[in-house]
Structure 1
């Protein structure tokens, strides 16, 4: 059984020019053998998430797995809505007080089912992950969190660098790697976008010529 991907909310990030950024993350539902929610927005968004799930006849108890692509506050704010789910937060996998050891730090993928896996993609933080979904349309969608801020950061890498990167070189490498694997990318703070060969080439060239990126 293949999975269906629903972007419940598109992320955004706007520099207000007043020493503040207005931002929230993309929140994505994966329906299939397991119901999965990826990135649960800020702590003020519980009602939004529950309302959006209800439109798909899904309750919080129907969610089997929660994935937070990393531990920043706009990606974990409503994890506690999903008390029956296993939680993956970056490289940490847990259910209640049980923690499951997994070698994300050695590059090991975590297989959820035949159509969904979680791969380590450190860079934005040192424990970032990306969810790869083989959709029922036969395409691969990468739910990438802040590995990609938005489509515009491919032409202008300073967008993701200024958003914060614990390891820019690793982030560049994983950006190129994910683009090779995916047909579509759901970024952390912008609309879903199609991965073209031009995008793949740009990302590969950025890895080859890192001085072009201002750090």
Structure 2
């Protein structure tokens, strides 16, 4: 159909010494891709310890029915079945999930964006799984946001939080593109001016 684009969101599995975190669950049409990818890694649905949803758009939060009894992190809340519990993200900018995994509040694309930082990844250093905060490398390399046409919650805050993550990470897994290395000239320090405002914005 003319004017129609295909949108395939990233689905990322993190294994921190046997603690499995699934970041985004794809679109409802991605069930086969999700199950096949887990099978390739010899990981069952039951082995997933926690699911993190980077933001509440359909291409990133389908298939959650497979994880109805697992902790699902969305913004500052944790959902297990029908029960909802506030997490440390209610009052803090980030929380630790495991020894090497942190979840950060990084609003901008939506008001409720989350980024997952994974430290000490062999051969990669710190990796950031960012959802549509950084949809692809072009946001950083060309300062072009492919998501602007569909609308963002706050483009300025999105840019500031993207700068923050770029300064913290060595590699980025974007929401709609290939993982990329953070090159030295990608890093900016302008976010330091409003560091407290960005991290604690609710």
Normalising to structure 2: TM-score of the pair? 0.86
Q: Deviations over 1:90-134 (max 9, x none)?
A: 333111122111353544312101100100000000010000001
**Alpha carbon RMSD of aligned pairs, Å?**
2.1
Which deviates the most, 147-156 or 98-107?
Answer: 98-107
Please, which of 132, 138, 143 is the counterpart of residue 156 of structure 1? 143
Write the distance in 2 (CA, Å) between the matches of 1:205 and 1:111. Answer: 26
User: Match of 2:163?
Assistant: 176
Whether the 8 Å CA contact 1:63–1:84 is kept in 2: the answer is: no
Whether the 8 Å CA contact 2:164–2:191 is kept in 1: the answer is: no
Please, which of 3, 13, 24 is the counterpart of residue 29 of structure 1? 13
| Structure 2: 5+ residue stretches without partners | 194-202
Within 5 Å, give how 1:136-215 maps onto structure 2: 136-137=121-122, 139-154=125-140, 155-201=142-188, 204=189
Write the distance in 2 (CA, Å) between the matches of 1:88 and 1:145. Answer: 14
Normalising to structure 1: TM-score of the pair? 0.81
Change (3 A) 1:117 1:146: same
| Structure 1: 5+ residue stretches without partners | 1-15, 209-215
User: Match of 1:75?
Assistant: 60
